[in-house]
Structure 1
């Protein structure tokens, strides 16, 4: 959306394999800044590994202020993993670090995945953007430094086995070399770590071989565009903030006589139930606010 204070909104990119999330941001920043005639702040809303494909939300302008509220939204993935070996990066693009002849049965896999739903502890990969002492872990790993990654708590809402050894009729498989599964999870979950842990729970080793993010919060594959399409016509592919957030928050139109108080950080009265809302003025996004006990106060300003 182009307003008096500049363009603001989101791209929903279907990231191709081989691109880093930063690559995508750099291309969009350049294309959008050239299109509008001034430098626009652009940032992605959750890293996708280079080998992964699928939904990468990218914010532009004041929409970048919404990073914290959108990063915690649920995400969906379709993944594939192989059993029998593990790599240093926990995906197929890494160097094989260990092998085993032990392959799990379907029964073992089904039993194992039941233990990976709800709130669980997970150790992030050493080759990740996780910060270790203020430095990204993958930079330390590439330098040869020994890294001790600390477990973190993540939420996995659902984990579904989709296919075994390339097929869906798998109840009698007693040696499984690969599986495909879908997962819905909270922010901060590493699917590479999940693949490793599923294999270990089965007494084997495992490595992620494919990953596609199917959605991230309100951003889905259905409304995603390719990077080349977005680059060619960036302004036409910007999703307005109000369009994106209306599927997450109720909308509260701010009364004219409350604008000055609200803008100055003074709480105003509201009939809304407790929780966050998207505040608008004349139908345009103005802030994300928190309502509590009949009082509404700005949480993130978009003015």
Structure 2
């Protein structure tokens, strides 16, 4: 059972809780999630099973889309609704000022990772230090906000959709928006709408997965591993080239079709996905295909 499962994570569970639950009902050990979703958040959580776990590193790099509610005027130590309130201020900003402040975050911006996060420093996760009352200096990271679509502003509550690069903390974005408006703020709720090519519309609840596992139809809900690389060019190999490729040998490529250092989806002549390949030039300048990562 090798593939990717589009799970609808419920609020109140950690991403690891979801993995542990699925290991139990699917009777599989080789399962892993593709990027932590806050325990209080819900939404899309792609889960890799079997050989698809080799693709986790590629899935975590994908862009995400979230729907969030920002509550202005109330700051918490965790930057979300589950933390302790540390400050309250009157919201004096107008509707237009709120809109301008939110939209000003579109594009690249330097974001300081929150203390309540799974980032490790000197072997310790930041949230472990935070729970012990320790705050350490963190290095800001460049993230990219592709878009922010404001859906509703009602008083000091704002609902918006945001598309962003990997590593973006939406609760920190909410806190930063509040700081820019001079009143503070925190993330009241969060739903992940999309992660790479996986979206909320097709996500399965844990109850649905449990029922399919009981009926023995689990494999039907798995997405093929190669969907992770759908934006790459593909190539199919005949039996001879396939054997050479899988044994670590170079396979010659047609001139003009590919470029050096290009990643390519590799299939056998029956259409079965084999690997992610990479193009390399030999000493004579001829372009060849070699294995980058096998998925069989």
Regarding TM over 0.5, the answer is yes
SS at match of 1:233: helix
SS at match of 2:249: coil
Q: How far apart are residue 147 of structure 1 and its match? A: 2.3
SS at match of 2:274: strand
Q: How far apart are residue 243 of structure 1 and its match? A: 6.2
Q: Distance in 2 between matches of 1:228 and 1:260?
A: 42
- Taking structure 1 as the reference length, the TM-score comes to 0.87
Tell me whether 1:267 sits opposite 2:267 in the alignment. Answer: no
Tell me which residue corresponds to 2:47: 58
Equivalenced residue count is 282
Q: How far apart are residue 62 of structure 1 and its match? A: 1.0
SS at match of 2:103: helix
Q: CA RMSD in A?
A: 1.9
Q: 1:255 aligns with which of 234, 238, 242?
A: 238
Written as runs of structure 1 = structure 2, the 5 A alignment for 1:154-303 is 154-165=143-154, 176-234=155-213, 235-236=218-219, 238-242=221-225, 244-245=227-228, 247-271=230-254, 272-274=257-259, 275-281=262-268, 282-291=270-279, 294-303=287-296
**What are the superposed Cα offsets for residues 126-157 of structure 1, whole Å, 9 maximum, x if unpaired?**
11111122221111111222222221111111
Written as runs of structure 1 = structure 2, the 5 A alignment for 1:35-74 is 39-74=28-63
Q: 1:126 aligns with which of 92, 115, 121?
A: 115
Counterpart contact for 1:85–1:206, Cα < 8 Å = yes
Q: How far apart are residue 81 of structure 1 and its match? A: 0.7
Tell me which residue corresponds to 1:141: 130
Tell me whether 1:31 sits opposite 2:25 in the alignment. Answer: yes
Counterpart contact for 1:242–1:284, Cα < 8 Å = no
Tell me which residue corresponds to 2:284: none
**Unpaired runs of at least 5, structure 2:** 282-286
Q: Distance in 1 between matches of 2:174 and 2:62?
A: 22
The verdict on how the C-alpha distance between 1:118 and 1:295 changes in structure 2, with shifts beyond 3 A counting, is: farther
